[in-house]
Structure formats: C-alpha cells, structure tokens
Amino acid sequence: MADREDDAGGARSRRPTLSLKGRALKYLAAREHSRVELRRKLGPYAETPDEVERVLDELESRRFLSAERFAESVAHRRGARYGAARVQAELAQHQLPPEVVREAVQTLRDSEFDRAWTLWDRRYGAVPAEAAERARQARFLASRGFSGDIIRRILRGEMPDPPAEE
C-alpha cells in the first residue's frame, strides 16, 4: 500500500472535500431536512451566508429540498408517538410556511384519537380506578401533545371505532 502514509494525516487528508451542494445532498439523502436545518448545518462550511442561500435556492428549484415533503416526513415519523400539538410545535421551529404546517397537522388531527388510544393501550391498557393513576395517565398523554378532549375520552374508557369494511 504505497498510498498509505504513516503520519496522522494519512490518505484521508488527500480526499477531496465535499462542496456545499454535495454536503447538502448527502444530508438530504439520509432524510428530509428543512431549509433552516440545512442552513445551520452548511453554515460552518461556507465562506459567506450568500453562498449557502444560493445552494439552498438551487436545491429548492430542482425539488431536492421541499417544505411539503419535510412536513410530511416529520408528521409520519412523529405521528405514531406524539399528538398534533407536539408535531405542530416541532414544525414551527423549522419556520415552514403556515399552510404547509396547517395541512400536515390537519392529517394528524384526523387520526389523533386512534393514535392516542393505541399509544395509551400499549402503555397502560386499563382505565384508571384511582385519581392518582388517572392523573399519571393524563400527564403521559398530555406530555406527548394530545389534546385535553382526546385524553378525557380515553380515560373515560371510550374506544376507537372499528375500521369500516369495504
């Protein structure tokens, strides 16, 4: 192996460094990112902030970077474990357009009772008999962003409707 050097710099230091666009594509290949996330991640590698903005604009124009896809991805990843309020708060941190957030959160709200019930059933499975246990279960669901109405319905023993047969 003549290419290998003994010092710490070694062959690795001779690899070409990724361009900003290459770095952004590498991040996007792993998962969807918001524009805010990519700006933060690419910032340390750019000479100027304008350089990062040019790369992000190009990625958006070529549809490699999409606020809609990012919102759907977050809703899908977080939806099984968290309520609409929690997912909405996470999406708000990414400064997405309001209509994109509203659409992603609405799809979660439509299935919120079923998702909350599934999570509650897996964790507890029985309606609480004592006030302390009721409060504990309510805190569990509330900490995951489920609404008070949903929590009350679950703790009263309401069950989700069975799926309709086609």
CATH number at residue 82: 1.10.10
Residue 3 in domain? no
For all residues of the chain together, what is the average pLDDT? 88
Confidence band, pLDDT 50/70/90 cuts, at residue 165: low
Same domain flag for 102 and 117: no
Same domain flag for 92 and 130: no
Q: In this model, does residue 62 exceed pLDDT 90?
A: yes
- Indicate the range of 5-9, 28-32, 40-44 predicted with least confidence: 5-9
**CA–CA–CA angle 149, 152, 154 (5° rounding):** 110
Choose between 4 and 87: higher pLDDT: 87
Q: In this model, does residue 5 exceed pLDDT 90?
A: no
Euclidean distance between CA atoms 141 and 44, whole angstroms = 39
Please give the model's pTM, rounded to 2 decimal places: 0.75
Q: What b-and-e string marks burial along 7-31, b requiring 16 or more CB atoms within 10 Å of the CB?
A: eeeeeeeeeeeeebeebbeebbeee
Q: Residue 148: which domain range? A: 112-158
User: What pLDDT is recorded for position 160?
Assistant: 79
Residue 155's nearest CA partner among 145, 146, 163 is: 146
Task: Express each pLDDT in 75-87 by its tens digit.
Answer: 999 988 999 999 9
* C-beta atoms surrounding 163 within 10 Å: 7
* C-beta atoms surrounding 96 within 10 Å: 20
Task: Express each pLDDT in 109-153 by its tens digit.
Answer: 989 999 999 999 999 989 999 999 999 999 999 999 999 999 999
* C-beta atoms surrounding 153 within 10 Å: 16
Same domain flag for 121 and 96: no
* 70 burial level (CB within 10 Å; 0-12, 13-18, 19+): buried
Lookup: tokens for 119 = 């999570």
Same domain flag for 41 and 76: no
Quote the number of domains for the chain.
3
Euclidean distance between CA atoms 146 and 159, whole angstroms = 16
